[in-house]
Homo-oligomer: A and B are copies of this chain.
Amino acid sequence: MTMEEKTMKCERVYEGRIINVRVDTVELPDKKYSKREIVEHPGAVGIVPITSNKEIVLVKQFRKPVEGVLLEIPAGKIESEEEPAICAVRELEEETGFKTDNIQQLLKFYTTPGFSNEIIYIYIAEDLKEGTINPDEDENIETIKIPIEEALEKIKSGEIEDAKTIVGILSYLNLYDK
């Protein structure tokens, strides 16, 4: 049995700076119709930067949608036509001031496939060298370095509560050949 939902109509309801929103009318496998609200996003990268002492570099940033300061791995959205790996190297330096040539994609995932196509590519960055911090004009970012075990504790305690950061730390610990 196919599970596919055929698009019968597609209505764009919002065009923005980072996201667009559309409502698709779909035909379900049983031929009934339903509506799907879809947030279109260009995709993003998240970087797990690991120092020679096995510390992870994290950034603190105010996130308006949740009205709070979150502790996250460095990240940023992909500019049009940009390779995710190039984007990762760029965002790492812009947000943390660290440069590297040693970057490896670990996995990719959909943040919330029920209502958005956003995909995030997770990279491990090692052999970090000093570069130049240069955040976007509307970004206010603080950087911290903590042992990777402490980052795991912060997931357990609820101090880290961002999906890409939890995925990045746990997949570094479980899936990456160190």
Pair A14/B13 contact, Cβ less than 8 Å: yes
Q: Note all chain B residues with C-beta closer than 8 A to A138.
A: 28, 32, 34
Given A17-B35, A140-B28, verify A174-B158 contact (CB < 8 Å).
no
Pair B17/A161 contact, Cβ less than 8 Å: no
Pair A115/B19 contact, Cβ less than 8 Å: yes
> Residues on A close to B: CB < 8 A?
1, 3-5, 13-14, 16-19, 21, 23-24, 26, 28-29, 32, 34-39, 41, 44, 60-66, 69-70, 72, 75, 77, 107-120, 137-138, 140, 142, 152, 155-156, 158, 161-164, 166-167, 170-171, 173-175
Pair A140/B39 contact, Cβ less than 8 Å: no
CA distance A36 to B18 in the complex (A): 9
Question: Chain copies in the assembly?
Answer: 2
Pair B23/A16 contact, Cβ less than 8 Å: yes
Pair A39/B13 contact, Cβ less than 8 Å: no
Other 17 A-B pairs with CB < 8 A, given A18-B37, A75-B114, A112-B116: A14-B14, A28-B140, A34-B138, A36-B64, A36-B65, A39-B39, A39-B116, A77-B114, A108-B158, A109-B161, A111-B163, A112-B163, A116-B116, A163-B163, A163-B164, A163-B167, A170-B171
